[in-house]
Each structure stands twice: as structure tokens, then as C-alpha cells.
Chain A
Amino acid sequence: MLIQEQMSLQEKLAVLSDAAKYDVSCTSSGVDRKGKKGMLGNAVSAGLCHSFAADGRCISLLKILFTNQCVYDCCYCVNRRSNDVVRTAFTPDEVCTLTMEFYRRNYIEGLFLSSGILISPDYTMDLIYQTLRKLREECRFNGYIHVKAIPGADPVLIEHVGLLADRMSVNLELPTAEGLRSLAPAKSRPRILAPMRQIQRGIRTQRTEVIPCERGRQFVPAGQSTQMIVGATPENDYQMIKVAEALYQNYDLKRVFYSAFVRVNDDSRLPVLPGGPPLLREHRLYQADWLLRFYGFGADELLTEKQPHFNVFLDPKCDWALRHLELFPVEINRADYHTILRVPGIGVRSAKRIMAARRGAVLDFPDLKKLGVVLKRAVYFITCGGRMMYSLKIDQDFITSQLVGNEHKRTWDITNRDSYRQISMFDDGWMSPSPGAQDVEAAVLGQL
């Protein structure tokens, strides 16, 4: 291991941001906090994106590793022990300076601090704790902090860190225990789930306390998130979304992130994916994830053991609707919110607008356009005042061919990467969050 002691701050930043970039979560969402006298910063629940990198991903936080030295040897990771790369570490002061100065210039919403395992999980967690304490207590930083909980670290340390951070995450990395065993032998499922459970309990207990803020700071107020790598191991889409669903239901996770596998190490245990990172698959998983969280779908409605892969040509919502034509068309002026939300081409925002606007008048097709409905997709599934827009036969093959035509270009764009353009997932119902794009949870909850 080449450890560089005499590096400039700029060189360290180059190494330690480069090493952190594969963690896809970069959101600053989930907590609203006003500024305070004598402190710098606040937090905005919907999250803010301050820039976009050349890969089109949002930059919201200063995402860095404390150190890229690591005692472990996870197969897929650039920082694994056996790799011959330049190693370095920040000091807590350096992390504080960067965060404060970047924040004042409005470059970032805050800090996302992760780390390789230096000496031991406890040692590393303590370094992170010292850094955060300095940032909060000495520098008086009141902006957003996302921090990794290191599996295997003392729960007392995790508890302390959780009182300084807004969000914590423990990466599941691979969706199944077998996957983990084959690629990250030092990590085990129970070791990862233990801190997740601890954080969940910490958040829950606080909710039931009579005076939640008695000790001054809240415990992980923006909740916890995790990440799974897509395509490094043979798990199918169905397994992935089942795991995600279980995490939302049993661990109260705020977000599950999906990260298309990038082959950074030449290692025979890792697959060679001729098409590069599986971006379309990652995209479909994000779409399905939104359906789970905001559209009331269950994982078993979207995929089954017999049909374990997402349709390449259709987004999961269209795909579901086509398999359930018996439920359509629905009448826009009468159907309830949840039914309307399931129509392809209608998103959370447009569904809410429909509910509000139809109180005043009977809605017709041209009105729907103004409410943000994507008629191109929705026409096959709705009536207005008992009428369909065109006299169409509801026939699976016909609709499929129409929708696939619309979708084809987009799919092609994603796989070919060059012209993958994002659309607002709330305005048009087809939801295409960019990996790491801001959570718009506040918008969903009607705060916008």
C-alpha cells in the first residue's frame, strides 16, 4: 500500500472524491431545518441539487471518503486492500474547511462522509465521529450531513454519530447473502443488518418520546438509506425489488439506491458486461422503486418468480397496466385517487391536480393535458365523461405496439447512453429519477 503523507489538500481531494464516486446516493433530502443564529446553514426537505457532473448525476453533497485505506478486500471495490493505488486520508480539520468553504459559496448542501476501514471498524467510526463533532460543534455547521455507519462498529459510536448526522446509510451492496459471500467475504448479511436495525430503532424510539428534542439534537432526522449494486451477481430484478420492498417495510428505509455495476477491478469473480454498466436495468429498478414508494404498488404486482425481469421495451407501470386491461378504462371524473394513480401517463402531481380540478367541472381530454397528463400513454386507459378519446378497441397487442413505439426511442437512448434525457417523474407519471437525483418527497406529500 502506498500511503502518501505529504499530499496537498487538492491532491487528497482528487483521490478521495474519486474513490467515493461509486456510491450513488447524493441526495440532501428528508429534513427541514431553519437556520440558527451563530450557525451556518439550514436544510430543505425536498433537497437541492447544486450541480451536475459529466455523467449527468446530481451533485448535492461534498461526497468524499475520509480515507481510501482499507483492511478489507471486497472484490468489486477500487479501494480494496489488494489494489495498488495511491492511499491517503484527510484530517478532520481538512474535511471541516472544505465543507464550510464550499457551503458558503453555495457549491453544496452539505457533506456525505464515507470511509474505507482503517485499522478497525471502531477506529474508523471514531474518526468519523471526531470529524462530525468538530464540524457541528466547533465550526457551527447546520447544513446537511449524510454519513456511513460502518458495519461492525460499536453501537455506542453509531448512536453518537447518529445524533450529529441527518442521514445514515449502511450499504447492503449485494441483494442476497450468497452474493455477499462470493464478492465481499469480510461482510456478512447480519453484520450489515445489525446497524440498520439499530438506526431504525433509534429513529422509532425518538418518535415516541414525549419531548423528542430534549437532548438538543435529533437522531438521524432524515432517515436511513442503502445501496445495492446491479449486475455484479446473478440476482434477478424480482429478487432486487423484493429485497427493496422488505427494506422499506421492515427497516423503515427512506431510500434504496441502485448502482449499475462498473467493472473497476480485473477479477475473475466479477462478470464482464459487454454493454458496459447495465444502465437500462438500473433505470427500470428506479422506476419500480418509485412505484413501490409513491404509487401503492407491491413488488409481487410488478414481477413474479415466473416473470422475474423487467420488460426491456416498456416501463414497469405500462407493463403492469397491459397485463391488467380488465381494470381499464377508468373514468377520470369518478375514479378514486389510487385508481387514477395507476394509469400510465398520470403521475402523482397530475393525479392530485385531477382530484382538485374535477371539483369545479367535468374534465375532458384537452383539460387533462393542462393538468400534466401524458395523453400519448394515458389515452388507452381512460375515459372522460364516459367517452374514450378515440374509438379504440382495448386490445393488448395494439396498445403494446403503440406504447412500445413511444418507448422504443427512450430505451434505445438509455442503452446507448448518449442521449438519455431525464423527465420529471411527477409531471408525467412515468417517473424517471436520475440515479442520485434529488428526492422530491416533499412534492409528493403535497408541500409544493
Chain B
Amino acid sequence: MTEDGKKGLGEGTTTIFVCRDSLEGILCGVYDAWMSRLGHANVALELENQGNIRMFSQYRQVEETSEKTEKVISAICRKAGQEAYEMVFRVSLSREEEKADRIYRFLVYALNCKMSAKDMLQIPAVYEVFRIDRSVGNEAHLLKEFARFSKTREGIYVCTVKPKNDVIILMAPHFADRLRGENWVIFDQGRNKAIVHRADQGWIVVYTDTDRWKERLVESGDQKEFEQLWKVFHERVAIKERTNYVCQRGHLPLRFRPYMTEFGYRLGHD
């Protein structure tokens, strides 16, 4: 039975729960789909604005409440463990359109599984989430390595990135620990979103637009000098007799380079 009292349109009709592209949105979608009692095979989760309307499907907008979100989180942590929850969190940051439904399928398995569900990679529902998690995790990891900060006139360290997945939130704790005494910003150019950290105080996520942002990005006096020094070092440390650009590209994909000092990036000139 559906909530509005009508019998479903028979076998083969899917009810699609449409959720916002965010952790909360997806978890509330999981809640609504699960609690609808339509049967896991008859429901699906989709993100908003996906465009491709499916025939013979009913669409329902997911309503977000913090209560639902918390209930789902606590169920995951209790039944599948903290690590499974962290996985779901990272998968929710992916750019893959099917991620909401993948999370749902994973939870259907994980919340009923007696074993550590996340290790059962032979199960397709687990493998898909593992795969997405790995690619989000890899990108976040590489950005911790390849992110470059430039110092502005106001003494703020600014880093611009354009990640495929929404990973700046995964970078934040790392830099908040090592650069704790600095004011810094990590700006996601594709999403107009930034992590802003204040010295010795912590960080927040802010939404902003590129133009307003750019006005403030004026280099500090010594920025150019250190950029130049870094380029000199980067060039000199290579052994000529072992030159190997293919190997270099394998480790450091070209897509990261537009934002890296040693490959020509300059603050405010992109």
C-alpha cells in the first residue's frame, strides 16, 4: 500500500523518490523509500534535475527533516558500523548520477547483513559503493597532495581547485590540522563553494561566486619570489638522464596541473 491509499499500479511500476544532491537529501530519500513499504524492488532513488523522466513511474519528492537524517545515520552506525557510514558519506559527494540509488541498494544489503558488509565486494550492491568511494577518496587524497596555496596581500593563503567530485570538505580537516595557525581558503571553482578557515578557530563551508571572489585575490609581495623558487627547485631536482614524461603523467594527471604553481598557475590569472 502506498501512503495515499492507492494500490500501486501493479508489478513493474517503480516509485521514484527524488532527493536533493546532498548527504541529507539522499539519507531522507533512503528513509522515505524504505518506510513507504512498497518493497525494495519497486522503489528507486534519483537526484533532482536528472532530466530523464521514466515512463510508468511515479515520482515523489523527498521531504527533508533532520529527524529522518539522524534516524538513518544512527541505523547505519548501529547495524553496519561507523566505517560503513563514512563510506556512505563519501559516496554522497560523488559526481555520479546514480549514487543515491547505489547508496540505497548498499544499505538494503548492509542493514540486513550479519557480516561486515563493506568487505563483501563480490556483492554488486557493495562493490558499486566501494568503487565510487574509492574514486572519491582517491581524488581527495590527490588534492591534499597537489593543492597549492598562494599568499594574498591580506596574508590569506588561497587555493583554487576544480575537482570532479565534491571533495573540498574531505580536504578541510587535513589542512585545518597542519595550517591551523593560518587564515586560508580552498575554493572549488566548479561549484562556487569554499572552505574558509580562520587561524586557530576552525573552518566553515561558504557559497560564493567567482567574480566577487577574484577581486580579493591580489598576491602578496613575496608570493612571486617563492613561486619562482619553487619552480627552480622543481626543475633542478629532476635527473636528466632519467627523463620520463610518461611516468610523470601517470602519477600527476594533466587535469590537476592548471592549478599547480610549478606548471604555471598564478593567482587570479586563470
Contacts and interface: CB of A to CB of B under 8 A. Distances in A.
A101 B251 contact: no
Interface stretch (B32-40, B86-94, B95-103, B148-156): B148-156
Contact of A53 (B119, B159, B200, B237): B237
Nearest to A263: B241
Contacts of A48: 144-145
A395 B161 CA distance: 53
B182 interface: yes
B234 A53 contact: yes
Nearest to A20: B237
Interface string B113-127: 101100111110001
Interface string A47-83: 0111111111111001100000000000000000000
Contact of A34 (B115, B177, B182): B177
Contact of B181 (A13, A40, A363): A40
Contact of A106 (B115, B120, B159): B159
B148 A107 contact: yes
A55 B238 contact: yes
Contacts of A361: 120, 122
A58 B113 CA distance: 42
Nearest to A40: B181
Nearest to B263: A51
Interface residues on A, range: 35 or more
Interface in B190-247: 200, 222, 226, 228-230, 232-247
Contacts of A434: 247, 251
A20 B146 CA distance: 23
A56 B246 CA distance: 8
B7 interface: no
Given A10-B229, A17-B237, A50-B145, A422 B250 contact: yes
B49 to A, nearest CB: 32
A272 to B, nearest CB: 13
Contact of A279 (B113, B122, B234, B242): B242
A63 B120 CA distance: 43
Candidate in B123, B151, B244 with the most chain A CB atoms within 10 angstroms:
B244
Contacts of A420: 244, 246-247
A57 B247 CA distance: 8
B248 A104 contact: no
A62 B232 CA distance: 12
A102 B175 CA distance: 14
A419 B148 CA distance: 28
A357 interface: yes
A1 interface: no
17 contacts: A10-B229, A38-B181, A56-B246, A56-B250, A56-B251, A98-B229, A105-B230, A106-B149, A106-B175, A107-B148, A279-B242, A356-B119, A357-B121, A361-B122, A421-B246, A422-B251, A434-B247
